[in-house]
Structure formats: structure tokens, C-alpha cells
A and B are shown apart, each in its own frame.
Chain A
Amino acid sequence: MQFGIFTVGDVTTDPTTGRTPTEHERIKAMLAIALKAEEVGLDVFATGEHHNPPFVPSSPTTMLGYIAARTERLILSTSTTLITTNDPVKIAEDFAMLQHIADGRVDVMMGRGNTGPVYPWFGQDIRQGIPLAIENYALLHKLWREDVVDWEGKFRTPLQGFTATPRPLDGVPPFVWHGSIRSPEIAEQAAYYGDGFFANNIFWPKHHFQRLIRLYRHRYAQYGHGTPEQAMVGLGGQVFMRKNSQDAVREFRPYFDNAPVYGHGPSLEEFTEQTPLTVGSPQQVIEKTLEFRDYFGDYQRQLFLMDHAGLPLKTVLEQLDMLGEEVVPVLRKEFAKNRPAEVPEGPTHAARVAARDAAALEEVAE
């Protein structure tokens, strides 16, 4: 089981001070947060990709390359990489390059992006969102697995005798998650390829995601990748902690009330009841996160959103200390209990290379 954080990279005014960080401050804060994630013993840092203010992370592999150089163990990932508006050739090359730089500590989460105006900035059309996600990923999948590619599709100029460089590290492409909030087509796509499915469940009630994850697990097995329990599931979470839960609620409420996405809507109490958001003591966070297993089955990756809505860097770093020291060690222990042996661990490059080699040996033996 892997634990980590994912960031949207929003530049948001701190509602308690009225101060808005500069883009430079926010970018530097994201880097500090990533380094802190490794320091406190987390496994994964994932950054969003956005091309419109108030968001800053337009160039994820640049950011992750820096973090790779400053860390030893942290897996670098995305949440998400836009498979619709990025050229799949460039995704193939950028992330293979990052794999080499980071010695394999890289995976990637594909997403469509839901902001209509962004698509034409990259020559695309949101009405083709799902077909773009399907075709572009089919090409990316091929580019990472075949040295010389001939290809023709609907949305991109054809390729003849093309080799994406560098080739993936050790000939094993980065593990791919497909992120989705609402589309069963994406759960189906993840199942078809035997890739991971990340349900970004943080803003919505659980019953919706139970259906999506059930579909993914079921189809994963039907496509012959393993049992439903062996499918690779990732989940989001959103927490704010203080030793005393009343302090957490008091401190977080102005950030909640003014947050992008859900601010100025339901009360903090209603939202925590209906979604995974937990505002309270570390023990409450532990209890709520452990419930995810009851709803969705044993899973592989848990990412927390910790740094949005204008929270100051100092506060976020304190939150990460608590997450790393008080929450994740207990979650590791508890999630390991009664975990069936056939349920896989979170994906790593080393394990994927070993699996590839084992499969090759088996083939030779036959």
C-alpha cells in the first residue's frame, strides 16, 4: 500500500489574511511540499497539470525532474496528465526521460481535463474528449512498447518508422493510472489495458465511486488481467488535522468556506458527512480512511489533498508532519491486517521489471 499527496497547484488567496501568493511563491511552496513528503516518509508526490490561472503547474515533468534530483525514494506522479490535449508523442518522451532521471521512480495518471476552453488552445475540441483520451492513449501505449512505430489515427498526423526517445528505462514503461470522477468509459479503458484506476473521490459521495470501482474490478478480471481483487485501485482523500478536533474545525473553516470547487456551498459539517473530507484529529483521519477499504476493497494507493484553498505553506508542512508521523504509520499497519496475499502492493518500477523478467523466464521454460 502506498501513501502520498496530490496537489492541484491552485494560487488562492488566504481568506484569513487576504494575501495571495505570487506564482513564484506557490511553485516554490509546491517543491517544498514535495520534499517534505519524502522527509516524513510518504511514498508518492503527484502534481496536477493546468494551463489556466489560477493554477501554476503547466509543466509537470520540469517540476518532477527537480524533485527527482532532490529525493531518494519518493515516487513522482501526476494528477493528472492531460491525455486529450497533450501530444501522446511528447508524453511518451517526457515521462520516459523522467524515468531515466529518477531511476524509475515515476508513474503517471491520465486524465481528460474538464475545461472546455483549454482544448482549442492545444488544437483540440472538448466534444471529442473521450475519443481523444482513447486514441491518444492507444498511441502512447504503443510508443512505450514498440521501438519502431507506424501509426495512423483520427486526431494526429500519422507516424512512419517513428521511435520515441529515450526508450523507457529497462524497457519497462511507467505504470499508468487512469483518473476519473464520473466516466465509466475511463474505468473500462483502465480495465482493458490492465492499468490502474484512480477514483478521485474527494468531492463526491462514495456510492458513485463504489459503482465505478466495481465496474473497473469486474472488467479487469473479464479482460484476463487477474481477479477483481488484483485490480489496481487508487483513491483520493482530503484532510485537515489538529490534535484537538475543535481546533482543526475552527482553523480550517474559513479555508473551507472560501475554497475553489466547493466553497460557498454546503457547510463544512454537511460536506464532511457526505464526502471523504475529514477535519479533525489524526485519529478521526485514520478512522475515516480505514473505512475506504470497506467501501472499495483492498487498494494500492491513497493520495491526500493537503495544500489547496490558500492554506499557508507553514500550515501545510505541519499537516504533512502529522500525516507522516501520526497517521500513515497506523494506516500502514491497519491496512496490512487481513490483506489477502494475492492483493498486489502499489506499483514500483523495480517490481514491474522483476515481473517482466519472471514472465520472460517462464516463457523460456515453456
Chain B
Amino acid sequence: MKPLTIVAVSAGLGVPSSTRLLADRLAEATRQRAADGTARPVEVRVIELRDLATDIAHNMVTGFPSPALGEAIEAVTAADGLIAVTPIFTASYSGLFKSFFDVIDHTALTGKPVLIAATGGTARHSLALEHALRPLFAYLRAMVVPTAVYAASEDWGTGGSGPGGALTERVERAAEELAGLVRGSTGTPATHGADDLDDVVPFAEQLAALRAG
């Protein structure tokens, strides 16, 4: 049976990083909930953009991905669910995070279930998720789950049973929302890449379209 795949992309830079930590927690919580509702095995993978930072810059310059970056892009675009986690830098997602999604074809994430999450030093930047990450994935026509998860430094010390905003509860709520969409996934969506050659419009139709227009 084909496994369900969940890929988490972490743009954290530290080793270890709180962004990676949040990505891991979200990935594991989503895996558990997705597994509960399906007989299919659930596979989780975390991609660290730090490891691909130079390759991403090279892709910007040359227009094509290195083998390692190409493989990561393939994993992201083929996943049944995506978890995208960035540190908040200068009031928005990090440049590395944005650059990774810039080198992916802009139609490749259409319809993809996505959970967005971010980390930061203080809770004051939490709305960056809503004014920066959510519009980014809306532009890509991804299906972003309603709960976005922000973890500030102080959140790492709070338990799950605290008042409504506690990190563990948000992680679980977001994971449940993503798992719900992932369970309904019928498999890898068709790639919409610009060089999907099976889709080429026959030339007579291209000519006719001009005449009709």
C-alpha cells in the first residue's frame, strides 16, 4: 500500500534550532493523527533548508536545481501534506525560506495541504504567519489549514494544559487539521510543472485559438 507522505520544511539556521524542534513536533503530531485514521503507512521527512542554502542560491543564478535540491523539491511537491516552518526575521519569513519556495514552480503546490508555523524571540511577531506566510501559500493556491502555529521563546516552557494559547494545544489542533486533509489525499497530485510534456497542446489547436481570439 502506498504510504502517505508528510514533508516538513525547516528554515532554521541554528544547530539545534527551535524551528527544527517545532517542525519535528508538528510532523510527529501529524503523523500520529494521520495514522489513526488510515490503514496506509505514514512516512514523515524533515528537510533542513540550511543544508541546501548554497544550492538554492545557485538555482537562483543558473535557473536549475542541483541534484540534492531537485530531490528535495520533488519530495515537497509529491508529498500528501506539507509543514512549512520558518524563523521570523525582520518582521517576516526568512530569506532562505522564501528563496526555497521561489525556486519551486509556482503551480507545483496547487491544492497541497499545508500547515504553516514559525518561531521567534517574542510573541509580538506571531501575526507574521497571517500577513506573510498565509498570503504566500494562498498565492501558490495551496490549502493552508486554519491554525497556524507560532512558538516564541516563552512558549517552550509552558505545558499543554495551560490556558488556550499553550503551544502543545496549538500543535495538536493544527496537526489534526492537517491530518484531516492528508487522510483524504488520494495520492500524489499530478505535477503541474511547466515542462510536463504530456500536456502539450496540439499545434492546430494553438493556431485555432489565435484565430478565434
Chain A interfacial positions (CB closer than 8 Å to B): 130-131, 134-135, 138, 153-154, 182, 184-185, 187-189, 191-192, 203-205, 208, 211-212, 214-215, 219, 261-266, 270-271, 274
Contact = CB atoms under 8 A, between A and B. Distances in A.
A274 B66 contact: yes
Given A191-B203, A211-B195, A274-B64, 6 more contacts: A130-B206, A134-B210, A135-B210, A185-B200, A203-B62, A274-B66
Contact of B195 (A182, A188, A192, A263): A182
From B60, B61, B200, B209, residue with most partner A Cβ within 10 Å: B200
A185 B66 contact: no
Contacts of B194: 182
Interface in B56-76: 57-58, 60-64, 66-67
Given A154-B210, A182-B195, A265-B57, A215 B200 contact: yes
Interface string B176-213: 00000000000000000011010111111011011001
A319 B62 CA distance: 25
A184 B195 contact: yes
Contact of B62 (A188, A212, A215, A266): A266
A344 to B, nearest CB: 22
B195 A208 contact: yes
Contacts of A192: 203-204
A210 to B, nearest CB: 10
A270 B66 contact: yes
A27 B10 CA distance: 50
A214 B195 CA distance: 13
A271 B200 contact: no
A204 B201 contact: no
28 contacts: A130-B206, A131-B206, A134-B206, A135-B207, A138-B207, A154-B210, A184-B195, A184-B200, A187-B200, A188-B203, A188-B206, A189-B206, A191-B203, A192-B204, A203-B63, A203-B64, A204-B64, A212-B197, A215-B197, A219-B200, A261-B62, A262-B62, A265-B57, A265-B60, A265-B61, A266-B66, A270-B58, A274-B67
B202 A188 contact: yes
A173 B195 CA distance: 31
B66 A188 contact: no
Interface residues of B, number: 23
Contact of A185 (B60, B62, B67, B206): B206
Nearest to A262: B62
Contacts, number: 72
Contacts of A189: 203, 206
B206 A208 contact: no
Nearest to A138: B207
B136 to A, nearest CB: 23
Given A203-B62, A266-B66, A271-B62, A154 B201 contact: no
B64 A131 contact: no
Nearest to B200: A184
A188 B200 contact: yes
Interface string B102-131: 000000000000000000000000000000
B39 to A, nearest CB: 36
Contacts of A188: 200-203, 206
A226 B145 CA distance: 53
A151 to B, nearest CB: 12
Contacts of B199: 184
Contacts of B64: 203-205, 208, 274
Contacts of A264: 61
B95 to A, nearest CB: 17
A211 B202 CA distance: 17
Contacts of B202: 188
Interface string B44-61: 000000000000011011
B62 A131 contact: no
A208 B105 CA distance: 15
Given A188-B203, A266-B58, A211 B210 contact: no
Nearest to B203: A192
Contact of B58 (A154, A184, A205, A265): A265
Contacts of A203: 62-64
B195 to A, nearest CB: 6
Nearest to A189: B203
A158 to B, nearest CB: 13
Nearest to A152: B211
Contacts of A266: 58, 61-62, 66
A266 B206 CA distance: 38
Contacts of B58: 265-266, 270
A264 B62 CA distance: 9
B107 to A, nearest CB: 14
A100 B137 CA distance: 57
Given A215-B197, A270-B66, A262 B203 contact: no
Contacts of A130: 206
